Amino acid sequence: MKTRFILIETSHAGNVGAAARALKVMGFDDLMLVNPRWPDVLTREETVKRASGATDVLAQARIVASLDEALEGVSHLCATAMTPRDFGPPTEAPRTHLAGLAARWRAGVADPGSDDGLSGAMPAGVGFLFGSERFGMANADVYRCHVALSIPTAPGYGSLNLAAAVQLIAYEWRQALGGFDVTDASDGPAGATPRGPVQADAAAVAGLLAHWERALVEVGFLDPAAPKKLMPRLNQLFNRSGLSPEEIHILRGVAKAMQQAVVAGGPQASPGRKA
């Protein structure tokens, strides 16, 4: 589904750049500005700086003179208005409304009896409208929308920065569409195919265990004449940990360092119990 973010009469260049960044990080790139304060806002220094690398979104963003021009190809309009309007569209939390919209889009059906703006044919595109920083959205613009999305905030203080509101709506819509997988830093650079950690095989764990047994004897922690259950317990600990080959290497390095310390300083009396 086409997704467009529309900023109406934006007055701060930094918010335009931050909005472009918010879109890019959520995988969207269709940004349209209706009559912004600065005709050259897309190339202003503050805009580019706040975009923080989302220059491709800025490069293809468009500036138009009226909201009508920004709505081409968009059939489902979502206002972002914290204050409900008399005679306006129903007010819903973003998560509730967008989850329903995405589910119906995926199913390719619509509910003819719905009163939430989703009745009739499935929308060709969804548009999210954001008003100016000082005045918010005009009533006339809200009335054109199918729903007014109200971001839940703390009672008594619902003032959100424009770029922050764009980020929240972009996140909720992306989550409704299925979201992105969380990639651990150990999975490699961005764009790499995510993979799970490789677990060391049993032979490597056995080698680690034998190495630690020798080291623990040499430092005086393990009494080979009365080993009790120390080594089986360490074996279970290593198994539960699901050690990777790199972690096996680290732990064997620790054992080696213990042995070298004994050679350098001589056998030390154990301060603790004999296992």
- Tell me the two tokens of residue 182: 């969380």
* Contact of 109 with 122, CB cutoff 8 Å: yes
Counting beta carbons within 10 angstroms of the beta carbon of residue 197, is it exposed (0 to 12), middle (13 to 18) or buried (19 or more)? middle
Work out the pLDDT band at 187, boundaries 50, 70, 90.
low
Beta-carbon contacts of residue 101 (< 8 Å; ≥ 6 apart): 76, 118, 123, 126, 176
- Residue 183 is predicted with a pLDDT of 67
Gap between the Cα atoms of 146 and 149, Å rounded: 10
Write the pLDDT tens digit of every residue in 133-179. 888 888 888 888 999 999 888 888 878 899 999 999 999 999 999 98
Instruction: Say if residue 5's pLDDT is above 90.
Output: yes
Instruction: Say if residue 214's pLDDT is above 70.
Output: yes
Write the pLDDT tens digit of every residue in 16-25. 999 999 999 9
Instruction: Say if residue 63's pLDDT is above 70.
Output: yes
- State which H helix or E strand residue 31 sits in: strand 31-34
Write the pLDDT tens digit of every residue in 77-101. 999 876 666 667 889 999 999 999 9
Higher pLDDT, 47 or 138: 47
Domains of the chain: 2-182 (3.40.1280.10), 202-265 (1.10.8)
Write the pLDDT tens digit of every residue in 223-260. 988 888 899 998 999 888 888 989 999 999 999 999 99
Gap between the Cα atoms of 125 and 1, Å rounded: 5
Beta-carbon contacts of residue 189 (< 8 Å; ≥ 6 apart): none
pTM value > 0.85: no
Q: How does the average pLDDT of the chain come out, rounded? A: 84
